[in-house]
Amino acid sequence: MLEKLNEIKLKAQEELKNVKTVNDLVSLRVKYLGKKGELTSVLRGMGKLSPEERPRVGQAANEVRELIESILEERNNQLKEEALHQSLKKETIDITLPGQNILLGHKHPITTVIDQIKEIFLGMGYTIAEGPEIELDYYNFEALNLPPDHPARDMQDSFYISDEVLLRTHTSPVQVRVMEKTVPHYPVKIICPGKVYRRDDDATHSPMFHQVEGLVIDKNLSMSDLKGTLRTFARQMFGEDRQIRLRPSYFPFTEPSAEVDISCMMCGGEGCRVCSHTGWLEILGAGMVHPRVLEMSGYNPEEVNGFAFGMGVERITMLKYGIDDLRLLFENDLRFLAQF
Amino acid sequence: MKVSYKWLKQYVDIDISPKELADKLTMAGIAVEHVEYLGQGIKGVVVGEVLEVKPHPQADKLVVCQVDLGRETVQIVTGAENVKAKHRIPVAPVGAELPGGMKLRKARLRGLDSFGMMCSAEELGIDEALVDPESRNGILILDPDSPIGEDIKSLLNLDDAILEFELTPNRSDCLSVINIAREIGAILKKPVKLPEIVFQETDEPVENLAFVEVWDQDLCNRYVARVVKNVKLKPSPQWMQHYLRSAGIRPINNVVDISNFVMLEMGQPLHTFDYDTLAEHKIIVRRAAEGEKMFTLDGQERTFSRDVLLICDGEKPVAVAGVMGGLDTEVTDKTCNILIESARFHPVSVRRTSKLLGLRSESSLRFEKGIDVFNTLEAVHRAAQLMADLAEGEIARGVIDVVGAVPEPTVITLREKKVNEILGTSLTISQINGIMEDLRFPTEIGRDEIKVTVPTYRQDISREIDLIEEVARLNGYDQIPVTLPHGVTTEGKRTRYQKLEDLIKKCLVGAGFMEVINYSFISPKDFDKINLPEDSALRNVIAIKNPLSDEQSVMRTTLVPGLLETASRNTNRRNPNFAFFEWGKIFLPREDKLPQEPMMLGGVISGKMERGWNQEAQVLDFFYLKGVLEVIFHRLGIKNWSLKAESFPGFLHPGRAGNIFLGDIYVGFIGEIHPSVQEKYHLENRTYIFQVYLHQIMEAAEEVFKYQPIPKYPAVERDMALLVKESIPAENITQTIWENGENILTGVTLFDVYKGTQIPEGYKSLAYALTFQSKEKTLTDDEVTAVFQKINESLSEKFGVELR
Ligand SMILES: [Zn+2]
């Protein structure tokens, strides 16, 4: 019997080695270990053995069974592994095919830039103020120290609705409205973004464009605070290594007034085509609020000071994205808009 | 204002280059826009005298000249027509260089040698408009006394540079070379040498020669006159011609040039009359009579209204004050005696007059800005001096000076504390005083303040802040420290509307919309283009009085034309698939000076969204647009909105549009563009549009919402397919379903709408998925079926609906 067992063992080992599918494996299991299997039939004949032989043959039979089972198990795992491997191979996709179109829209670049400006000033404790686009001459000019016949009115050719009503030429009237509402309280700390209008239409001027104006009124405010505020803004907007430069200028509603340049981010100040080889780019106008403007709004210039600044959003947008044609911003061509 | 660098050096010892000077001036607030270096690239060009001009034997368009260059005589062949024997002209002989890197070589023209070239003004970099007409489009004819052989650059001052200023409106004092020199003196901390004015007068008192009356002193608070006799008209000297040319003024003759020169030098416009043409030798300054007429210098007859100030003689108007002289009294070749006017006219009056007559001149420009009333005397003296020196004029004794109210000199207290408070600096009182002294402002220094007397030529300075600005700019803006405000902390925050704006825009961007910005002005014709009825309220517009064009002449009362224009432009550029939105104001007239400016949201879609290789293209249609609105309303927590199919503006398809309501308040519309409008805008595909009033929508928004617990018990889904009469709106069915849900109906989704085979004519099939769920327990089949039945019954009762 031991011989028979050994025979079964060798045969099973051989057959199991060559088995190719899980199904074949199952039938082999039946063949050897099933109720009518070869090993079982050997064991069935155990009754005929002497009591001395029985334990020996029993042990040998168990060893053969265990061996076959372990080989079965091993082969089963191998075959499953292979089958999985095969099926994974079949499921291979071309990962270089494009992904699905997730269609997100786009804000207009002007809006995006205004949002960025808002974010920076919100972070510095400013609130956002708004005002009418069709304004009274009083708010647009007079209250800003531009009485009728003031020569500086020539600087801004306006669209008139009537003698006292016009399309605002800058966002500065919002300052005046906010001051009138807030006086005598302070601090005032606002920015006012919005559309403005001037009677100009050529390659570098659009009759409608956007400005962001800023105004701060407080005790002990100085031009150095203005400088610091603008540097903070310039660095957040155009990069941490930007320098700013103030040049004396004139606006009727601020004094002293300045044009503010930032070091060119294209060339780092070395001089290039974008900055006309000066290393500087003009980005905004600013100054200390003229005492006359404070007085007209009801503030006492001996008690508080103010500073104000204003920037053209189109210019900043063009600089930021390297846009060289202003008209693109108002043509609303989707091939342009889709880039932002 | 353009000024020669050499001219400025007459008054200040400038020891830096023109470029450096320009930078320093700019950083002190006197902006120099551009520095032009004259004569660049010119080398070896000299004065020559034409000895003879002979025709070229082989070419009738050419002449052969013998030209004396001093050290040699050369033959030059030229095509220029204006050269005659005895002319002195600029010559570039062989070896000379001209701008643009051109080096002269011997040339052969139709068989004859030419040893150089005669130069035109343009070839020397001189504006042709600023030279004598006979030298235009030909060779530049020099003054007959130009030394033969002299280098042209030194003769014509082409070794100079010109500074082009861009003055701010407050610094019109710098429309005077002397005042610019004063600025330079203050910047470089150097003295300023003013011209010394000395001249001989004759014994004849001016009072016997001329008479001046100022009738309207409100418009002319000073009128100064001198009489100069026996002037000899001739070209003014090279230096004066050069200075005038540098400033962009064409030299004419010594008398005219002198008055222009003094205007540029001192900022005081002068006018010279031919004394002998003035009736009664009288000057009367008065307002025009209505309809009064005169021929001005440019040969035009002008008619005046009462607010124009005229200069008249004993009989008639002879000049428009400060703007332009008259033809009859102009200085001509025959002029012998002259009257020089140096006056101060009212800035606003001159400005209005020059605008009215469409005449802008160097003088009117200066009068408009307001000139220094104390400078009029100096200027007339300076002119007299030059008339004597350069025109051999005999100056009558004394001046006529009719002077009205003149301003008191301004004295301002400048506080050290205020200077440093405004600038954030820590300047000492003596540093501040030093800056005032650099400006030559007389000061009286106290312990912590300075009394500053402002010179009359600085009319821009009237209060302390103006002096603080002087300190700031001359001390240098770069000297101002960099600090941040250190007051009370303020809260940077958005208002509720601003937050909702962000939210709504996020929804739109998430839905694939691109934002557009259209002009706020439209054409009145746009209303016809969008089929707006004649009596539509939207045609009541705010009109611009001075529009750039008809196309942009009224303020928009709706976003529709702009959106359709954008749609049209994109279709035209082969982008027929789009989803655009715009966020902007419309302008509605009302009983107030200022209109109402409601903020609107509008959108326009058409075509399909881009398709991928494994996805169907999303069709952009009415229901896509409605879906976007649903998302927005949902995100804003607005539930009580509805769409009503009622009467529409003419640009919408009557069967495919709806008005949007919140409760019973109208807030906008949504719909398909009417085919006729679609055609007018050349839109390729059906196009859908919406517009809503943002104010009402934001008012209704419920930003606070509470989360709903996730149900613990399982939901049961049942589908329901209904055969419904086509005329019954789906919304009515949905509503009835909800009404009969008995608290266990938690979801109703319409997932199919079908018409066609198997559906009788006039009917549609609606398929709903209903979700039933209880918060308290697991629902049994029977419980669900009971409610399902109830829904069914009420649907068939109400609408005759059949279950399919
Ligand atoms: Zn650069």
pLDDT digits (tens, 9 = 90+) for B595-648: 999 999 999 999 998 778 888 888 999 999 999 999 999 999 999 999 998 877
Query: Smallest Cα–Cα separation from B582: which of A132, A202, A171, A105?
Result: A105
Lowest mean pLDDT among A19-23, B182-186, B219-223: A19-23
Start-to-end CA distance of chain A, whole Å, equals 86
| ipTM of the complex in this document | 0.87
pLDDT surpassing 60 at residue A155: no
Q: Which residues contact A50 (CB under 8 A, 6 or more apart)?
A: none
What is the longest distance spanned by two Cα atoms in chain B?
132
Torsion of CA B200, B205, B207, B211, to 10 degrees: -60
pLDDT surpassing 70 at residue B225: yes
Nearest residue, CB atoms, A331 vs list B425, B569, B618: B569
Lowest mean pLDDT among A62-71, A208-217, B524-533: A62-71
Highest mean pLDDT among A39-48, B124-133, B505-514: B505-514
For chain B, positions 339-398, list CB contacts with chain A under 8 A.
347-348, 351, 368-369
* Predicted confidence band of residue A261 (pLDDT cuts 50, 70, 90): very high
pLDDT surpassing 90 at residue B236: yes
* Predicted confidence band of residue B758 (pLDDT cuts 50, 70, 90): confident
Provide mean pLDDT across the span B75-91: 92
- Which residue of chain A has the CA closest to B499? A128
Provide mean pLDDT across the span B728-753: 92
- pLDDT one-digit tens code per residue, B496-525: 999 999 999 999 999 999 999 999 999 999
**pLDDT value at position A156?**
62
Put simply, the answer to whether B514 touches A338 (Cβ < 8 Å) is yes
**How does the average pLDDT of chain B come out, rounded?**
94
Q: How is residue B656 written in tokens? A: 């495919």
Put simply, the answer to whether A105 touches B514 (Cβ < 8 Å) is yes
Quote the CA–CA distance of B320 and B351 in Å, as a whole number.
12
At what angle are helices B416-423 and B429-438 packed, to 10 degrees?
A: 90
**Residue numbers in A near B545 (CB within 8 A):** 159-162
Provide mean pLDDT across the span A127-151: 92
- Which residue of chain A has the CA closest to B498? A128
Query: Smallest Cα–Cα separation from B513: which of B419, B628, B427, B596?
Result: B628
**pLDDT value at position B305?**
92
**pLDDT value at position A2?**
77
Give the residue from A141, A255, A263 with the most B CB atoms within 10 Å of its CB, the best one to mutate: A255
**pLDDT value at position A147?**
87
Lowest mean pLDDT among A278-292, A298-312, B696-710, B714-728: B696-710
Percentage of chain B surpassing pLDDT 70?
A: 100
Provide mean pLDDT across the span A33-59: 81
Taking the CA of residue A28 and the nearest CA in chain B, the distance in Å comes to 46
Give Rg (Cα) of chain A: 43
pLDDT surpassing 80 at residue B804: no
Provide mean pLDDT across the span B779-797: 92
Quote the CA–CA distance of B403 and A10 in Å, as a whole number.
138
Put simply, the answer to whether A195 touches B477 (Cβ < 8 Å) is no
Q: How is residue B565 written in tokens? A: 């224009």
Torsion of CA A146, A152, A158, A162, to 10 degrees: 40
Q: How is residue A86 written in tokens? A: 């095969």
Give residue A279 CA to ligand 1 midpoint distance, Å. Answer: 5
Put simply, the answer to whether A100 touches B612 (Cβ < 8 Å) is yes
Give the residue from A159, A232, A245 with the most B CB atoms within 10 Å of its CB, the best one to mutate: A159
pLDDT surpassing 60 at residue B333: yes
pLDDT surpassing 70 at residue A154: no
Taking the CA of residue A264 and the nearest CA in chain B, the distance in Å comes to 18
Higher pLDDT, B169 or B424: B424
- pLDDT one-digit tens code per residue, B350-366: 999 998 888 889 999 99
Give the residue from A161, A174, A188, A212 with the most B CB atoms within 10 Å of its CB, the best one to mutate: A161
Give residue A285 CA to ligand 1 midpoint distance, Å. Answer: 20
Taking the CA of residue A249 and the nearest CA in chain B, the distance in Å comes to 6
For chain B, positions 6-45, list CB contacts with chain A under 8 A.
26-29, 31
User: B419 and B468 in contact (C-beta within 8 Å)?
Assistant: yes
Percentage of chain A surpassing pLDDT 70?
A: 99
**Residue numbers in A near B489 (CB within 8 A):** 125
Nearest residue, CB atoms, B484 vs list A187, A225, A290: A225
Highest mean pLDDT among A37-51, B78-92, B93-107, B380-394: B380-394
Taking the model in full, what pTM does it have? 0.86
For chain B, positions 472-531, list CB contacts with chain A under 8 A.
472-473, 477-478, 480-495, 498, 505, 508-521
Lowest mean pLDDT among A50-59, A180-189, B28-37: A50-59
| Residue whose pair of structure tokens reads 């020059």 in the numeric block | B354
Higher pLDDT, A291 or B650: A291
**pLDDT value at position A27?**
86
**How does the average pLDDT of chain A come out, rounded?**
91
Quote the CA–CA distance of B367 and B263 in Å, as a whole number.
11
- pLDDT one-digit tens code per residue, B678-719: 999 999 999 999 999 999 999 999 877 778 888 889 999 999
Quote the CA–CA distance of B792 and B783 in Å, as a whole number.
14
